[in-house]
Amino acid sequence: MTLDAIEGKSFAGTVTKVGASASASGGVAKYTVEITIPKDELMKEGMNASATIVIEKKENVVTIPVNALQERGNETFVYTEKDDEGNLSGEKTVTTGLSDGDIVEITEGLDAGDTVYYQKSGNTDSGSGNIGSFDFSQMPGEGDFGGGGFGGDMPDDMPDIMAGGQGMPFGK
């Protein structure tokens, strides 16, 4: 957690309460959460705070931008080749893991260092992302997945605090 008025300092806390009901915004369910953090003498009542809730952390995983995923029926694949005219080919089936809405873990089908090609949103030019060197700078920490949930149904054995946080987008 960071406080806008206290630059360069972050605070670790614990989610101690999750709201029983969600508010919907843009098709996304948001839950109010209460986070308890140790008091610091610099903290003042009414300060604006931002929090990232890390719900799972994995290290040394292969990730790609979500926009690189293609779906056809029950198959999820990526393109691994591009010709001189920018036509994409080389479909490779992949299995996905955790996602924060921007990046997705690839558990099967690609290796670190593989290159995938995809159409950039709102652009006709092809873009490429090198899986092994994807920039994690917008994430709270390499391999962290946090915030509002994974999308889809949550497994029954996951605790309620994994439901997410009010107004806190993944990894921002």
Helices (H), 6-159: none
pLDDT band at 91 (very low <50, low <70, confident <90, very high): very high
More confident residue, 110 or 128: 110
pLDDT band at 29 (very low <50, low <70, confident <90, very high): confident
Residues β-bridged to residue 130: 115
Q: Residue 110 is encoded by which pair of tokens?
A: 């690609």
Lowest average pLDDT, out of 1-5, 83-87, 119-123, 149-153, goes to 149-153
Integer Cα distance of 116 and 120 in angstroms = 12
3-state secondary structure of 67: helix
Domains of the chain by start residue, with CATH: 2-53+147-163 (no CATH), 62-133 (2.40.420.20)
3-state secondary structure of 14: strand
Q: How many residues does the chain have?
A: 172
The count of other CB atoms within 10 Å of the CB of residue 77 is: 17
Query: What's residue 121's pLDDT?
Result: 62
Q: Which residues lie closer than 8 Å to 92 by C-beta, 6 or more apart?
A: 77, 78, 79, 80, 109, 110
Q: Locate tokens 């957690």: which residue?
A: 1
The count of other CB atoms within 10 Å of the CB of residue 29 is: 13
